[in-house]
Amino acid sequence: MSILSGKNILLGITGGIAAYKTASLVRLFVKSGANVKVVMTPASKEFVTPLTLSTLSKNPVYSTFTNEDEDTEVWNNHVDLGLWADLLIVAPATANTLAKMANGVCDNLLMATYLSAKCPVYFAPAMDLDMYKHATTKQSFEKLNTFGNIMIPATSGELASGLVGEGRMAEPEEIFSFIEADVLGKLPLKGKKVLITAGPTYEAIDPVRFIGNHSSGKMGFEIARAAANLGAEVILISGPTAQKVSHSLIQQIPVVSAEDMFNAVHTYFNSCDIAILSAAVADYRPKEVAHQKIKKKSSTLTLELEKTKDILASLGVIKKQQYLVGFALETNDELENAKGKLKRKNLNLIVLNSLNDKGAGFKGDTNKVTFIDDQDNITAFELKTKSEVAIDLLNKIISHI
């Protein structure tokens, strides 16, 4: 999954021959899972049709302040468009549009949207080589740079005029990769390794039976997704679960038993920066595992259980730079029990959820949590979706590291 998946991308197209390449650019963004809207300057429609772009973007294309084609006039609100955008990309950016952007000239819908947008702005210049070299164009680049706008430099090659030189708009694939890398590079967990455990563990009784629990793994998978979306490299060690995730930054390691999970966690822990152990690990396992299926001979069956290794506690003993987070699912004396676990297992943070709270815990899509950190700060949250809880948790961790 691309880091641009789910992002709202507003593409501003201006009147240069390179506008024909924006059809491919829209396709790349759509394929990455982004939501794409297009604003065209009137001149750009000479080079590529709004129909092509609306078909590819699956959205109406905006060009004027009111919709010309409709019977009833519709106001294309540049403020709404600007606020909708997570990223604004002006490609191709002609010398004319760059000069307008640099000087706040607001004579079309794209310029009004540019001035209203609060998101990062990228621009991909495209013009003939002498225009590209001209002092006024250079001035526009410099001014836009001081505004924080990001240039995707033009490349050298054959230009529409037949001349050869600098001024060709970067290819759509290059623009796409540039933006993807730039967004990724600015994410708060970029360069961090996050280890996450999720799901239940199954402890074998015999070849066909096991002791397990009701954990769905949803909470851990949501944390993995949120961490990857914040730029982290994620190792997701998961017990048997129906959850699925597909993200270029998530490496999933399936395990079955507490012992498997212990070994996998210790393989990766040394090199990680943050470890979040949300798995519902079995506390006990059968002392002996029968090699053959146990037959129902008598009216009762007694299994002797032994303790599994406490993975979280073992990390608390060896941790160095790692920020260590555990979960506590409690039914009584919740705060006291959770604080006890935080200290006993040498954690930086514990996420408490109580089975007494409706909507909290194992199976559902929601959770109601309280964070307790090693400075004794306690933050209680409302009932939220597990994906919102995951974001709250990572924001809390980011504020600490």
Which listed residue (59, 67, 76, 213) is catalytic? 213
**Helices marked H in 164-272:** 172-185, 218-229, 258-268
Residue 400: CB minimum distance to ligand CTP, A: 17
> Among all chains, which residue has been given the structure tokens 């003939």?
128
Residues 182-241 that bind ligand CTP (CB under 6 A): 197
> Which of 152, 205, 277, 393 forms a contact with ligand CTP (CB under 6 A)?
277
**What single letter denotes the amino acid at residue 182?**
D
Residue 213 annotated to the active site: yes
Residues 290-329 that bind ligand CTP (CB under 6 A): 308, 310-312, 326-329
Show the tokens assigned to 56: 């590819």
> Rounded to whole angstroms, how far apart are CA atoms 285 and 309?
10
Residue 221: CB minimum distance to ligand CTP, A: 14
Number of residues that bind ligand CTP (CB under 6 A): 15
> Which of 88, 279, 393, 394 forms a contact with ligand CTP (CB under 6 A)?
279
Which lies closer to ligand CTP via its Cβ, residue 132 or residue 327? 327
Residue 111: CB minimum distance to ligand CTP, A: 53
Residue among 22, 20, 183 at smallest CA distance from 91: 22
Q: Assess 281 for contact with ligand CTP (CB under 6 A).
A: yes
> Rounded to whole angstroms, how far apart are CA atoms 351 and 49?
53
Residue 275: CB minimum distance to ligand CTP, A: 10
Which lies closer to ligand CTP via its Cβ, residue 85 or residue 350? 350
Count of alpha carbons within 13 Å of 323, Cβ hemisphere only? 18
Q: Assess 341 for contact with ligand CTP (CB under 6 A).
A: yes
> Which of 56, 226, 258, 397 forms a contact with ligand CTP (CB under 6 A)?
258
> Rounded to whole angstroms, how far apart are CA atoms 353 and 376?
17
DSSP characters over 290-339: -SSPPP--SS-----EEEPP-HHHHHHHH-SS-EEEEEEEESSSHHHHHH
Catalytic residues: 213
Residues that bind ligand CTP (CB under 6 A): 197, 258, 277, 279, 281, 283, 308, 310-312, 326-329, 341
